[in-house]
Amino acid sequence: MNLLVLAFLSLALGFIFNLWGHPAKNEPIPLVDLKFTETNTARMSASDLIRTGGDTSGLECYACHDKKVAIKLKFDAENNVILPKEHEDIVMGHGSHKRNNNCFNCHDETNLELLQTRDGRQVKISESTQLCGSCHGPTYRDWEAGVHGRTSGYWKRDMGPIDRKGCASCHNPHSPPFPGRQPAPGPHALHPVTAPVTTHE
């Protein structure tokens, strides 16, 4: 019994006077930059703007254009559309071949507040995903299936609604290529694993 008490006292003194040293402190794990956990989409589409009651004055074409006067597009020597100064903030870059850099490929020239699909159907600006799908069929099919794009809400449909974002919530319709993004950092181990020491005899 006395030996057991003596052993515990020896251990206690060893810990008090730090005879065996302390384990090396782990480096603090840096917090993940909030940009990697942001849930907003890359941009706000016209349909999101309308749905949330945002400022839609930029969508009211006939606040500036006269409905009775047909718009004539102007082109430069390389057949690129020349945008008027009122629209010079728009960067035209829809496709590498430049054939889509024509306003009336998507906007309906008879009613500027509507879009026109490839097969000539008129759709509202808030339904622009149908327009995208009229040219980008395979991607539209994937979007409908929930493979492409962003869907949130309930995967089990009988539990509640889903929210499937349209193309223009991520892609700028005038210049759709999605900008590159920095990848998020990899996971940090709470307890770093050191390589085992191997001995050669």
CA distances from 190 to 24, 25, 30, 193 (A): 13, 11, 11, 9
Query: Which token pair is 114?
Result: 């509507």
pLDDT, tens digit (0-9, with 9 covering 90-100), for 107-134:
999 999 999 999 999 999 999 999 999 9
pLDDT category of residue 198 using cuts at 50, 70 and 90: low
pTM of the prediction?
Answer: 0.72
Helix (H) or strand (E) holding 114: strand 114-116
Q: What is the mean pLDDT of the chain?
A: 86
Report pLDDT for 195.
62
Residue with tokens 């509640």: 160
**Is the alpha carbon torsion for 129, 131, 137, 139 positive or negative?**
negative
In the chain, what is the straight-line distance between the N-terminal and C-terminal CA atoms, in Å?
44
Q: What is the pLDDT of residues 139-172, one digit of tens each?
A: 999 999 888 998 888 878 889 988 889 999 999 9
**Alpha helix ranges (H) inside 69-136:** 128-133
Residue-wise over 34-65: b if at least 16 C-beta within 10 A, else e? eeeeeeebeeebbbbbeeeeeeeeeeeeeeee
pLDDT of residue 140: 96
